[in-house]
């Protein structure tokens, strides 16, 4: 086989050169003769002869590789088809009934609006407009300053730019009537609405300067930041995903509205007019300082009487006097903010305690059940979107793989089309080759003598380098083995926890010796962690070290700690900067996540979720900015109620304070208090001030229940992936352990002579060294230490990648047979009395009787009087307690006889629930036998009787399975609790660093 490599440029394509066969005829002439003179290279023909070889004068011609006077494997390759240009958009032929496509004005507008710098200019203008709105400072009573007046003039510039953009887009795309027109796009509708409102407000402000307040219309300017969404594709994707989830959320919204309406009507019937009494002095008319509802449940102090004509709590906003205020109060209770205050006010006004049924049922049904359905819907929708995105990615990878396979198949077909050289036709070529080879041999003989002298001089250098490389490899192998050892693992863990303990010792007014101790230990730990970093760099190599994210994190922490120490000791930075920089030390705490595989997967999933919700974070920030600007326009300068009173902290008087207030409302902390102030700012509930609650309700619903729940949905999905990854890795480790135990049929390469083997890949001249592969690829095993956790013996279910729902778990309630072995060493498995005890314990009626006794005994415990221990009621209840304790003791003895105590499998004490029963019965017996109630230890034991209701778990099968699922969930969230504790510890120490005096 031979491939000609000495081709001129252009010969590979068969275009632009004249190729000659052995008879001196050009291939083009042969082709013309073969196709009747109508075929020429580079033009299309009706007959495809690219794959039809033909022999001309003993030479095979197929149209491929040619050489002058020699033809070897001539093939004509099919020219690739040129793809067509980008299709032109389908624009209407005429817009606004007068402008055609060829109109110069319309063509200019099309070029401008589709020009990329123009889009960037509009986005920059929107950003500048947002800055101008944020700089604006609202003042009470419509006052202004020089800055606000200048901003009003700049607003005209923004309005002109946005109007010009709107007009050019209408001219370019049309207005409304045809598809693809300007108003057929939702974002363009928003732009058009904002521009029209801006023009109307400008015209009205100029025509009626004194008689018309355009502040309400100017409030719509805050919607301009929404135009950023139309200019950022990632924001459009996130917002469209949320909008697609609105359809199922609409059903939940109707359910929530139904619940609120039902409870509002019930509250209107029960509590209407009950919150308008408070205490005041009859002689002076002075009310009590802390106004409070009074009635049969709350008696006024001496000198005060219960006066009826009072607005009510929170200036009359929180009440059930009409349907609207009742709905607002119910919504506040459903958000779990201040619902206890409403409950206590109702109880103080009405006197009885049955009102808790209304409020507790409303919280359970509305807050715990219905509102959490929003998270379930969002989680389901985003899981579907994630699955669709994954399927699209897999399909794209499959397409790429198929394309690669087609390319490889094409290359292989091209390579295998080469043919053997015929000696008759290519004798001259072989003769030229032999002559060339003889010349090369002669020239090599001339150079051999000179190279031998150089080799003698370089042999000792190569030998020394080879010995050094061998020693270096052995040392790196030893260091790598040490780094991956369990001793090194536990050493780093111990150092991390010691460093954590030292960081936690810092406090206010600490002694001088503790300062020195903390400084010296900090230098000591920096040195140790630096040695760890350098050792890993040496053993793994720079490439293998920095591939790992945790190694990069370690490197950042070490370099930051060294920098902080140098700046602290030299005194270059101010004290505050040093305190901030010292916080880098706290990042060492997270080194523990590197060596804990399940915790590492959890942290990786959290980081992955942060990457996946970057666009959502931007959308949330944009949402906060818009509502902060709207709050400034609506409530700015209006929270000054009384000159003697201090202005509330949560206000909208400047942009930064408005941002903080909006974020406070999103978190749900005292959002109702800010809403009360907003209603009072416009006159209270007796005027239009009641409409101010719309702003706060929309902000709370969209921000807290939708956007923040989207974060939770993405985090839940990523945490499920982390659990799946940990489970899969455990299965892989188990399989690897089984594989390593079996004899390996793969031979190993040993010996000095095999260490210099190279794998040469003759593609683009690259060469890969086995040693280099071994050194560089070791990072794949660097994270390989996985702390296995033993599974429960009774857990024989197949471990799946994704956690199963509870409804998928098949619960079995089979009767356990009598365990093998003797009970108390005297009763065998066939003992009749033991068989009778087993039958009685597993009888359904016996279980129901015991369950009833547990419920009655729990009710007796709840009926005790804790204030008077010697009361007659407690004496009667003690007699019942003795009776129930006797019943539980008989049950315990029957089960001990039936199942045995502890020594054999299936014994009574081998179950955690049975141990709980044993503890409760023993505590009850000890408390009954003790006659002295003064012994504190006995009192503690009597307190443990409150565990008695838990005994019902082992009797109710459904409840038992629910508790088991909760226990499994508690085991699963252990890593989450640990990460939370690490974060709390880090921010606690940061707080000590920054805010201690």
Q: pLDDT tens for residues 201-234?
A: 888 777 766 545 566 677 777 887 877 776 677 6
Using pLDDT thresholds of 50, 70 and 90, give the confidence band for residue 260: very high
Single out the residue of 407, 414, 409 nearest to residue 12, CA to CA.
414
> Higher model confidence: residue 98 or residue 693?
693
At residue 51, the pLDDT reads 44
> Higher model confidence: residue 661 or residue 381?
661
Question: Which range, 33-37, 384-388, 431-435, has the best average confidence (pLDDT)?
Answer: 384-388
Q: Is the pLDDT of residue 935 over 60?
A: no
Of all helices (H) and strands (E), which one includes residue 473?
helix 427-483
> What is the reported pTM?
0.67
Question: Which range, 61-70, 546-555, 779-788, has the best average confidence (pLDDT)?
Answer: 546-555
Following DSSP, what letter does each residue of 132-157 receive, concatenated? HHHH----GGG---HHHHHHHHHHHH
Sign of the torsion formed by the C-alpha atoms of 763, 764, 765 and 767: negative
At residue 857, the pLDDT reads 82
Average pLDDT over residues 85-112: 76
Q: Which single residue is written with the structure tokens 């049922």?
A: 361
Pick among 1.20.120.350, 3.40.50.720, 2.30.60.10, 1.20.1250.20: CATH of 94-231: 1.20.120.350
Q: Is the pLDDT of residue 991 over 60?
A: yes
CA distance to 53, 754, 898, per residue, from 751 (Å): 53, 6, 66
Q: Is the pLDDT of residue 53 over 70?
A: no
> At a CB cut-off of 8 Å and minimum separation 6, what does 268 contact?
320, 322, 323, 326
At residue 592, the pLDDT reads 63
At residue 203, the pLDDT reads 82
Pair of tokens at residue 937: 């230890």
Q: What are the sequence ranges of the domains in the chain?
A: 1-79, 94-231, 246-276+311-376, 832-955
At residue 700, the pLDDT reads 93
At residue 7, the pLDDT reads 41
What is the fold of 246-276+311-376? Helix Hairpins (1.10.287)
Name the least confident of 73-82, 152-161, 766-775, 813-822: 766-775
At residue 750, the pLDDT reads 37
> At a CB cut-off of 8 Å and minimum separation 6, what does 220 contact?
193, 194, 197, 198, 201
Three-class SS string for 216-229?
HHHHHHHHHHHHHH
Measure the CA angle with vertex 384, ends 380 and 387; round to 5°: 135
What is the fold of 832-955? 1.20.120
At residue 811, the pLDDT reads 43
Whole-number mean pLDDT of the chain? 73
Residue 4 among known ligand-binding residues: no
Q: What percentage of the chain carries pLDDT values higher than 90? A: 9
Q: Is the pLDDT of residue 6 over 50?
A: no
Q: Is the pLDDT of residue 80 over 60?
A: no
Average pLDDT over residues 383-412: 76
Over the stretch 136-191, which tens digit does the pLDDT of each residue have? 888 777 677 788 888 888 888 888 998 999 999 888 888 888 787 888 887 788 88
- Same fold? 246-276+311-376, 832-955: no
Backbone phi and psi for residue 144, each to the nearest 5 degrees, phi listed first: -150, 175
At residue 914, the pLDDT reads 80
At residue 25, the pLDDT reads 44
Name the least confident of 125-129, 533-537, 869-873, 929-933: 929-933
CB-neighbour burial class of residue 717 (10 A; exposed 0-12, middle 13-18, buried 19+): middle
Name the least confident of 112-126, 321-335, 378-392, 477-491: 378-392
Taking the chain, what is the end-to-end CA distance rounded to the nearest angstrom?
A: 86
> Higher model confidence: residue 741 or residue 988?
988
Over the stretch 315-344, which tens digit does the pLDDT of each residue have? 889 999 899 999 999 999 999 998 999 999
Using pLDDT thresholds of 50, 70 and 90, give the confidence band for residue 268: very high
Average pLDDT over residues 426-447: 50
> Higher model confidence: residue 650 or residue 34?
650
Using pLDDT thresholds of 50, 70 and 90, give the confidence band for residue 70: very low
Using pLDDT thresholds of 50, 70 and 90, give the confidence band for residue 488: confident
Question: Which range, 403-407, 672-676, 841-845, 954-958, has the best average confidence (pLDDT)?
Answer: 672-676
Question: Which range, 12-26, 403-417, 807-821, has the best average confidence (pLDDT)?
Answer: 403-417
> Higher model confidence: residue 150 or residue 382?
150
Question: Which range, 336-340, 896-900, 940-944, has the best average confidence (pLDDT)?
Answer: 336-340
Q: Is the pLDDT of residue 680 over 80?
A: yes
> Higher model confidence: residue 179 or residue 768?
179
Backbone phi and psi for residue 768, each to the nearest 5 degrees, phi listed first: -115, 130
Helix (H, G, I), strand (E, B) or coil at 76: strand
Question: Which range, 557-561, 691-695, 857-861, has the best average confidence (pLDDT)?
Answer: 691-695
Residue 400 among known ligand-binding residues: no
> Higher model confidence: residue 946 or residue 672?
672
Q: Is the pLDDT of residue 765 over 70?
A: no
């Amino acid at each position: 086989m031979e491939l000609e490599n000495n081709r001129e440029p252009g010969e590979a394509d068969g275009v632009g050169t004249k190729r000659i066969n052995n008879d001196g005829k050009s291939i083009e002439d042969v082709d013309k003769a073969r196709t009747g003179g109508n075929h020429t290279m580079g033009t299309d023909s009706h007959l495809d002869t690219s794959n039809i070889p033909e022999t001309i004068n003993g030479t095979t011609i197929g149209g491929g590789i040619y050489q002058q006077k020699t033809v070897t494997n001539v093939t004509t390759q099919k020219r690739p088809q040129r793809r067509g240009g980008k299709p032109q958009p389908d624009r209407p032929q005429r817009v606004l009934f007068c402008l055609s496509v060829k109109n110069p004005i319309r063509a200019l507008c099309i070029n401008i609006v589709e020009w990329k710098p123009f889009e960037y200019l509009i986005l920059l203008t929107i950003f500048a407009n947002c800055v101008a709105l944020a700089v604006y400072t609202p003042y009470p009573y419509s006052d202004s300053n020089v800055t606000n007046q200048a901003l009003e003039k700049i607003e005209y510039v923004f309005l002109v730019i946005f109007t010009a953009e709107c007009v050019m887009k209408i001219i370019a795309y049309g207005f409304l009537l045809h598809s693809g027109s300007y108003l057929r796009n939702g974002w363009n509708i928003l732009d058009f609405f904002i521009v029209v409102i801006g023009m109307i407000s400008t015209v009205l402000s100029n025509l009626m300067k004194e008689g018309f307040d355009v502040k309400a219309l100017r409030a719509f300017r805050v919607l301009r930041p929404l135009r950023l969404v139309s200019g950022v594709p990632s924001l459009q994707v996130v917002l469209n995903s949320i909008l697609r989830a609105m359809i199922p959320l609409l059903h939940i919204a109707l359910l929530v509205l139904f619940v609120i309406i039902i409870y509002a009507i019930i509250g209107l019937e029960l509590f209407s007019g009950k919150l308008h009494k408070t205490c005041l002095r009859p002689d002076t008319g002075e009310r009590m300082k802390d106004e409070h509802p009074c009635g049969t449940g709350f008696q006024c102090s001496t000198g005060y009487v219960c006066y009826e004509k009072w607005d009510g709590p929170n200036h009359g906003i929180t009440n059930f006097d009409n349907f609207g205020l009742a709905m607002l109060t119910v919504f506040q209770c459903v958000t779990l903010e201040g619902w206890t205050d409403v409950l206590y006010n109702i109880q103080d006004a009405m006197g009885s305690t049955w009102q808790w049924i209304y409020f507790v049922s409303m919280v359970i049904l509305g807050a715990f059940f219905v509102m959490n359905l929003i998270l379930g819907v969002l989680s389901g929708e985003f899981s579907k979107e994630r699955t669709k995105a994954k399927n699209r990615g897999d399909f794209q990878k499959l397409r790429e793989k198929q394309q690669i396979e087609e390319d490889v198949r094409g290359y292989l077909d091209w390579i295998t089309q080469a043919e053997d050289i015929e000696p008759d036709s290519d004798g001259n070529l072989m003769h030229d080759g032999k002559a060339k080879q003889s010349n090369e041999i002669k020239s090599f003989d001339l150079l051999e003598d000179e190279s031998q002298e150089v080799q003698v001089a370089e042999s000792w250098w190569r030998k020394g380098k080879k010995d050094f490389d061998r020693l270096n490899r052995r040392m790196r192998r030893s260091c790598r083995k040490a780094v991956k050892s369990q001793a090194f693992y536990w050493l780093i863990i111990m150092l991390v926890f010691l460093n954590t303990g030292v960081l936690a010792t810092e406090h206010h007014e600490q002694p001088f010796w503790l300062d020195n101790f903390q400084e010296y230990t900090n230098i000591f730990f920096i040195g140790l962690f630096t040695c760890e970093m350098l050792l890993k760099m040496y053993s793994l190599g720079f490439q293998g070290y920095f591939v790992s994210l945790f190694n990069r994190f370690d490197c950042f922490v070490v370099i930051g700690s060294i920098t902080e120490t140098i700046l602290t000791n030299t005194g270059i930075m101010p004290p505050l900067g040093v305190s901030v920089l010292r916080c880098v030390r706290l990042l060492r705490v997270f080194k523990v996540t590197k060596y804990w595989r399940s915790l590492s997967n959890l942290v990786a999933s959290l980081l992955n979720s942060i990457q996946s919700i970057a666009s959502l974070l931007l959308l949330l920030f944009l949402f906060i900015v818009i509502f902060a600007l709207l709050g400034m326009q609506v409530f700015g300068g209006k929270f000054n109620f009384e000159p003697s009173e201090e202005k509330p902290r949560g206000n909208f008087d400047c942009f930064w304070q408005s941002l903080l207030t909006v974020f406070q409302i999103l978190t749900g902390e005292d959002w109702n208090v800010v809403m009360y102030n907003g209603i009072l700012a416009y006159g209270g509930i007796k005027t239009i001030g009641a409409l101010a609650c719309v702003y706060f309700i929309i902000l709370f619903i969209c921000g807290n229940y939708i956007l923040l729940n989207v974060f939770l949905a993405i985090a839940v999905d990523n945490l499920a992936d982390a659990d799946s990854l940990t489970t899969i890795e455990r299965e892989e480790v188990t399989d690897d352990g089984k594989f390593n135990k079996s004899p390996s049929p793969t031979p190993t390469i040993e010996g000095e002579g095999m260490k210099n083997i190279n794998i040469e890949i003759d593609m683009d001249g690259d060469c890969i060294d086995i040693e280099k592969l071994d050194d560089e690829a070791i990072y794949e095993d660097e994270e390989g230490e996985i702390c296995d956790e033993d599974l429960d013996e009774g857990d024989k279910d197949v471990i799946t990648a994704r956690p199963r729902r509870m409804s998928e778990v098949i619960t079995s309630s089979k009767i356990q047979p009598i365990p093998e072995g003797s009970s108390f060493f005297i009763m065998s498995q066939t003992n009749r009395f033991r068989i009778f005890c087993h039958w009685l314990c597993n009888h359904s009626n016996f279980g129901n009787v015991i369950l009833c006794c547990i419920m009655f005994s729990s009710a007796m415990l709840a009926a005790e009087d804790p204030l008077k221990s010697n009361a007659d009621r407690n004496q009667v209840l003690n007699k019942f307690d003795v009776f129930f304790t006797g019943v539980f003791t008989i049950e315990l003895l029957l089960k001990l006889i039936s199942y045995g105590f502890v020594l054999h499998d299936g014994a009574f004490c081998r179950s955690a629930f049975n141990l709980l029963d044993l503890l409760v019965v023993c505590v009850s017996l000890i408390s009954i036998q003790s006659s002295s109630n003064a012994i504190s230890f006995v009192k503690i034991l009597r307190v443990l009787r409150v565990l008695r209701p838990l005994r019902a778990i082992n009797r109710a099968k459904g409840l038992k399975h629910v508790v088991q699922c909760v226990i499994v969930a508690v085991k699963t969230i252990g890593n989450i609790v640990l990460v939370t504790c690490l974060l709390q510890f880090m921010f606690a120490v940061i707080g000590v660093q920054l805010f201690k005096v």
